[in-house]
Copies of this chain bind each other. A is one copy, B any other.
Amino acid sequence: MLSKSGKYAIRAVLYISNHSNKNNKIGSKEIANKLHIPAPFLAKILQELTKKEIISSVKGPHGGFYLSQKNNNKTLFDIIDCIDGIQKFENCFLGQEECNENKPCVIHHLYVPFKNKLLSKLKTKTIVEMAIEYSKNNNFFDFVKLNE
């Protein structure tokens, strides 16, 4: 469903949210190491996210990535749209050229409700909310949340 790039992006943004802040930025290499993502590949992805202002970055010594307050209110949807494009969810699951209420494919009535719930979740779930939820579920003992 999502590409590797898209999945890497989500995990990286989560990591940034939970492990850095404006006064304590984190480098792409460190994120890549911790998340087992090829470092130069992740760097490219973070570049894209920065360009679309979903995350923030600063060059030079003690530079790195962090999330501004504005970034924190971006949604999962924004990340996915930036890296994968959101169009992919609109195509028929089974690849039929026409697929709608009148001419539904065999799993149309399963897929569409899921897709709608999914999209509405992606659009409302902000990065902070997601990061908090994630850190709870994953018992980050090293959890730091000091953005701005």
Residues A94 and B2 in contact, CB atoms below 8 Å apart: yes
A117 CB to nearest B CB, Å: 6
Determine whether the beta carbon of B106 is less than 8 Å from that of A4. Answer: no
Partner-B contacts on A (CB < 8 A): 1-2, 4, 6-8, 10-11, 36, 76, 93-97, 102-107, 110-111, 114, 117-118, 121-122, 125, 130, 133-134, 137-138
Contacts of A117 in B (CB 8 A): 110
Q: State how many copies of this chain the complex holds.
A: 2
Known: A11-B95, A106-B134. 11 other contacts (CB 8 A): A2-B93, A2-B94, A2-B95, A4-B95, A11-B94, A76-B106, A103-B137, A103-B138, A107-B118, A110-B121, A111-B118
Q: Which residue of B lies closest to A80 (CB)?
A: B94
Among B96, B107, B118, which residue has its beta carbon within 8 angstroms of that of A110? B118
CB of A54, distance to nearest CB on chain B (Å): 16
A95 B10 Cβ-Cβ under 8 A: yes
A106 to B123, CA, bound (A): 12
- A8-B95, A96-B11 are contacts. A130–B114 as well, Cβ < 8 Å? no
A34, B122: Cα distance in complex, Å: 37
- Asked if residues A133 and B114 are in contact (CB atoms below 8 Å), the reply is no
Report the Cα distance A102→B138, complex, angstroms.
8
